[in-house]
Chain A
Amino acid sequence: MIVQSRRKTYIGIVLFLLPVLVLYAMYFIYPLGFVFVTSTLDWNGVSAPTFVGLENFLENFRNPTIQLSIRNNFLWLFALGFVQIGFAALVAILLARKPRGWRFLRTVYFLPNVISQVAIAMMWAALYNAEYGAINQFLEMVGLEQWTANWLGQVETALPAIMVQQVFYIGYFMIIILASTMSIPESYYEAAEIDGASVLQQELHITLPLIKDILVTTMTLAMAYGLRHFEATFLLTNGGPANTTSVLGIQLYKMLSSLDYGHANAVGATLVVLGVLVIVTIRALGRRTSAAEGMQ
């Protein structure tokens, strides 16, 4: 053990913790308190606020745009949590067998995570553009003019268009799952092969059970991102057309821009609560299935 003057050491500890604690209080504790308190107020940020209880929440949940935004947030949650993680796991399992060029592929798949969401969104705005976008031009070139569309401007295509642009960038979660998959000892597979198990059987009965924990972790993260979704939608459609692509983050920003602090922070509080609920639920489900398997 380290023995030193205790008084001096305590002063040192306090001084070393102080910057982090002050910043944490300013940027986490105060803001969370602010969001929950003001969510119960009728307030424009300037004049005297009045207490309205849960009225802001009730009004928000009755507001069709907020309803649509919550639905879209859950669509994002499922798209990222199941579709994106599903693809990421599939590619990770394929790459773990080290096919030709797997290092190069891994590096390319991860590339979009280094580029900013803003630049990526501007690129996709150009790809989807109705007059000069590559997607319509490609459809015309191969004789599918009837499929061309104003992708981001039409009610039917806008939301799927933004989702495609996010869901197929699998690199981030793929790398996390790949690291876990590659740590499975080679001998498990050799033994299975001697027993005559096919590649598919090996992946289903060896790989999947052993990477279950990391799948739960990445799924939780992806779902949390689904609730926090903002940038791509803000830049590609700003919630339009007719609010069909709106999410809670967009509505929070719009309400704040019109100085409606009460309703804006009721949206903020909803986001915080939903975020915690999602994480707790997925964790609990993950543990339940582990326990069930243990009993078999």
Chain B
Amino acid sequence: MGRVKGAVGTDSGIAPIIGTVFKWIVLLFFFLFTFLPLIWLLISSFKTNLELQTRPFAFPEAWQFINYINAVKISSLPRLFLNSVFVSSVSTALAMLVTSMAAFAFSRERFPFQQGLLNLIIAGVLVPIIALMAPYFRLTNGLGLYDSLWALILTYSAINIPISTFLMYGFMKTIPVELEEAAVIDGASFFQRFSMVVFPLSRVGLVTAGTFVFLFSWNEFIYALLLTSSVGSRTLQLGIRFFTSQFFTDYTSMFAAIVLTIIPSIALYVFMHDKIISGLTSGALKG
């Protein structure tokens, strides 16, 4: 009975059959829309460029692993990958450190303008970051960081302050104050209450907010485009944009390069999809 087993089987007549057919058409459509393009890209990345034109929907005659060797050679993928790992990890660490400190003060202490400051910071999620291209460009130049990975690190951490403060504040509110009171009796200072009690207990919140910031930084494109120019400070996402000119008409090697850029994200998703989903959606759910 109820929703899960559904009335479909218990009713008689044609309506439930139409309902079932409709349901599976909808579910299958969105499944294929997501899945088929990725499969097409993957299979095509093992073809010769002639096969791509002549046998578009068949498996390759011989699987062209050479495309993947070309891809790595032409696109300097390892360098792009390392840059992205560095930028995303440091941005995440920095954002988590500063926002968990602020969230600790906001959730544990009383001080003037407390609620006003917290609201002001969280209201930052309403700002369309894309509208701030000009000031971010000037700010980065002013700091002497243009065309460096640190330009991106600072920008990505700062952009994520509103959402991470919101998530960390929400999480720390749920940690019982009694635990700290015990520490205070043992002589713990303000800093020790944070570093030895609240921060270690915030692991779940840190993973959620950290996943959000990491994926944001890993996939960010606009500011990577605007704030860097040389190959040395190019991230993976920005690198993909140059594939069309680098690979010219060697389309299938370019497909191989795109597949290589997608694989780390999919691998991570397969292993920890529940954490990633909750990390990416919790901001909206609690908002």
State which of A116, A123, A264 has its C-beta within 8 Å of the C-beta of B41.
Answer: A123
Q: Given A132-B52, A132-B251, check contact A253 B133 (CB 8 Å).
A: yes
> A19 near B277 (CB under 8 angstroms)?
no
The interface residues of chain A lying within 8 Å CB-to-CB of B135 are 30-31, 34-35
A257 to chain B, nearest CB (A): 10
> A4 near B98 (CB under 8 angstroms)?
no
> A23 near B15 (CB under 8 angstroms)?
no
Chain A positions 213-268 with a Cβ under 8 Å from a chain B Cβ = 217-218, 221, 224, 227-228, 230-231, 235, 249, 252-253, 256, 261, 264-265, 267-268
The interface residues of chain A lying within 8 Å CB-to-CB of B1 are 190, 193
Q: Given A175-B281, A221-B284, A227-B128, check contact A115 B134 (CB 8 Å).
A: no
Interface size class on chain B is: 35 or more
Stretch at the interface among B69-77, B155-163, B201-209: B155-163
Stretch at the interface among A97-105, A148-156, A285-293: A97-105
The interface residues of chain B lying within 8 Å CB-to-CB of A228 are 128-130
> A252 near B130 (CB under 8 angstroms)?
yes
> B265 near A114 (CB under 8 angstroms)?
yes
> A111 near B258 (CB under 8 angstroms)?
no
Interface residues in A, total, Cβ within 8 A: 100
Interface of B is mostly: helix
> A17 near B284 (CB under 8 angstroms)?
no
What separation, in Å, do the CA atoms of A252 and B133 have in the docked complex? 8
Residues 258-287 of chain B: 1 if any A CB is under 8 Å from the residue's CB, otherwise 0?
Answer: 100110011011000100110011001101
What separation, in Å, do the CA atoms of A33 and B269 have in the docked complex? 39
> A170 near B30 (CB under 8 angstroms)?
yes
Q: Is A131 an interface residue (CB 8 A)?
A: yes
What separation, in Å, do the CA atoms of A138 and B36 have in the docked complex? 12
Interface of A is mostly: helix
Q: Name B159's closest neighbour in chain A (CB-CB).
A: A27
Q: Name A131's closest neighbour in chain B (CB-CB).
A: B53
The interface residues of chain A lying within 8 Å CB-to-CB of B219 are 115-118
Q: Is B82 an interface residue (CB 8 A)?
A: no
A182 to chain B, nearest CB (A): 9
Q: Name A90's closest neighbour in chain B (CB-CB).
A: B26
Q: Is A269 an interface residue (CB 8 A)?
A: yes
Extra inter-chain contacts (5) besides given A134-B56, A199-B8, A253-B226, CB under 8 Å? A24-B124, A28-B158, A31-B135, A126-B44, A224-B128
Across the A-B interface, the 6 shortest Cβ-Cβ residue pairs = A12-B190, A31-B135, A27-B158, A268-B131, A116-B219, A20-B102
Task: Give chain A's interface residues, CB within 8 Å of chain B.
Answer: 2-4, 8-10, 12-13, 16-17, 19-21, 23-24, 26-28, 30-32, 34-35, 38, 45, 87, 90-91, 94-99, 105, 107-119, 122-124, 126-127, 131-132, 134, 137-138, 141, 168-172, 175-176, 179, 186-187, 189-190, 193, 198-200, 202, 217-218, 221, 224, 227-228, 230-231, 235, 249, 252-253, 256, 261, 264-265, 267-269, 271-272, 275-276, 279
Pick 20 A–B contacts, CB within 8 A, sort by A.
Answer: A4-B189, A9-B190, A13-B111, A13-B190, A20-B98, A24-B124, A26-B139, A31-B135, A35-B132, A110-B273, A111-B269, A116-B237, A122-B244, A169-B33, A199-B19, A202-B7, A228-B130, A256-B137, A261-B134, A268-B132
